[in-house]
Each structure stands twice: as structure tokens, then as C-alpha cells.
A = this chain, B = another copy of it.
């Protein structure tokens, strides 16, 4: 039964549903996950027991500091290659022996763990995507708002009447959020891939959008939130893109990820946001789109500023490129 929301803020906070402070508050019995003294994630409760037990040649892979509530990799496991190997073997075992439920949804896709100042790519090592939420590492994706302009004068009349949005309904057979509404194209960024190349690949694979259209996708920033649910903790960054499609073009489900595509008027999209039929983070991407395009405004949305806060949480976990943590400052 889809959850109906009473306000857009409530809908957005269905995704952005835990604040960073309480992740680390002494009240919670969460373990922070450190690699080489860099905070890279938060272990979710269901993940801890197996990690406390797990050994490689009679040596524990993880060291747990009960005082500090910190988990880190045993000092014997030092090199990138060693860690890559140890985690791969462990996660494969956890999957086969069904130790972690989240691994049922195995993706055969590697996600990077960032924060390594000593490597050019900033990556410590990579892990199977399905395990990301167990370790609570920061993950990265691209979401594409596909839209059609109905009028040339984007500034005339009600903005909401000048565009329609392409919305995807997820396949009923998808492992996560089956049948829920989604962006026309969205996907996680695998290790070694950049946002734009990920957009172009996913456009082709998921919606049959050819490169000559997808390469025109306009990057329009990023949203960030932390989701805490049964699977674990997801501090996530989504690069958002706006892709204007010709009215003559019809996306088609190619790889079976999508059940169907619908071209919806904005009023209809807003209706669906409140019905709770959107995948939670996709709802946030739509709200960000509607704010950037002047459809949700300070005049028509009382929680305007609080919604923008929820769409732009600063995450303590390192990201790609700049190795400055985003809370370090150039004081004058």
C-alpha cells in the first residue's frame, strides 16, 4: 500500500530520513567504518555480527573498538590488492551462505570507496554494489530528468504548463522498488566511470535514448541525502541532469529494467509525488527539478527552504576528486 504524504517536506524526508549527527551520536550503537583513519561509512546493525566473526587464516579482518564504536580493517591487511581480494572473497561467502540478506540482490557491479589521499583516483578499493548499504559507504549515481517543452517562451504563463516530464515505471521484477515510479533514466556510477559517460550508457541501455540526444543532457548540480532503512545506511550523492527530448521521440524499455514510460503533465507528476508511488530518492530528484525550473516556489511552498536543505545534505564521507573534506575551510 503506497504511503501518502501530507506535505512535500514529508515526502522528501521519506528519503532524507536521518541526520548525520544522529548517525554518530553516542546513543546509537552504530559502528563508524574507518580505513587508514579516514571515516568512509557506518556499519548497519545487521552487518556487524558476521564481520566480528569473520577471519582470514585465523586473523580477524575487522578490528572493533567498543569504546569508540569504530570498526577498521586489521593492520595485517594493508595493500589495496589485499583488501580488494579479502573483501571480494568475504562478500562472495556471505552471499553463498546467505549471511547478509542485502546480498540476495547481488549486482556484479563494483562501487568505489573514496578517501585515499595516496592514490591518483582517490579510491581505497572497490566492493560489490549490493554490499554498499551494509558498510554504509557513500554512493554516487546519475538521475536524468527527461522532459518535453510544449512552448518556446519558457518564461511566459505558468511554468508548469510549458513542459511535460517523461516518467519511468520500474519493472515489477526489479529487486529494489519494483513497480515504483522513477526518472526516465537513472543509475549508479560504477568504479572507474564518470557521471556523463554513465548518463550516456544508461540512456542507451534503459530507455533507448541515442547518444546524439543523451550527450546533450545538461548537468544541473547534485542532490545529497542519507537514507536509513532495513537494508542499512545510504549516504548518497546523485548528479542530476536535465534532458530535453523532441516531442516526436518515445523512450522504449530496452534492458527490462523499466515496465513502461509515461509522458506526464506537471500537475499529474505533483499528484504522484503525494501518492507515494515514486521511489524515494527519485521523488527528491523531481522536487529538485521543479524547484530549479521555478514550478515549486517560495510563494507556493511554505517549506521551500527546508526542502532545499533536505536535498543538499553535506556528507562527511569523502567523494571523488578534491581531497579536501567539504567541511575544511580557507580561513583568512
Q: Are A303 and B321 in contact (CB under 8 A)?
A: yes
Bound: A324/B229 CA distance, A: 22
Contact of A14 among B152, B154, B293, B330 (CB under 8 A): B330
Closest Cβ of chain B: how far from A177's Cβ, in Å? 15
Q: Are A17 and B331 in contact (CB under 8 A)?
A: yes
Closest Cβ of chain B: how far from A203's Cβ, in Å? 14
Bound: A314/B306 CA distance, A: 9
Q: Are B308 and A222 in contact (CB under 8 A)?
A: yes
Contact of A308 among B152, B221, B327 (CB under 8 A): B221
Indicate the member of A291, A305, A332 with the most B CB atoms within 10 Å: A305
Interface of A is mostly: loop
**Between-chain CB contacts (< 8 Å), 26 pairs:** A9-B322, A13-B329, A14-B330, A17-B330, A17-B332, A18-B329, A21-B327, A154-B244, A155-B244, A194-B299, A195-B298, A195-B299, A196-B299, A218-B294, A221-B291, A221-B308, A222-B298, A222-B308, A224-B309, A302-B321, A303-B324, A304-B321, A305-B319, A306-B322, A306-B324, A306-B326
Indicate the member of A16, A228, A303 with the most B CB atoms within 10 Å: A303
The 8 A CB mask of A216-259 against B (1 = contact, 0 = none) is 10111110100011000000010100101000000000000000
User: Interface residues of A toward B: which range?
Assistant: 35 or more
Contact of A312 among B298, B308, B321, B327 (CB under 8 A): B308
Q: Is A98 an interface residue (CB 8 A)?
A: no
**Contacting residues, chain B, for A10 (C-beta < 8 A):** 330
Contact of A297 among B9, B159, B219, B244 (CB under 8 A): B219
**Contacting residues, chain B, for A116 (C-beta < 8 A):** none
Contact of A309 among B18, B21, B314 (CB under 8 A): B314
Given A9-B324, A224-B309, A302-B322, 17 more pairs with CB closer than 8 A: A13-B329, A19-B329, A154-B244, A156-B216, A194-B298, A195-B298, A219-B298, A220-B293, A221-B308, A222-B308, A229-B332, A292-B292, A305-B321, A306-B322, A306-B326, A309-B312, A312-B314
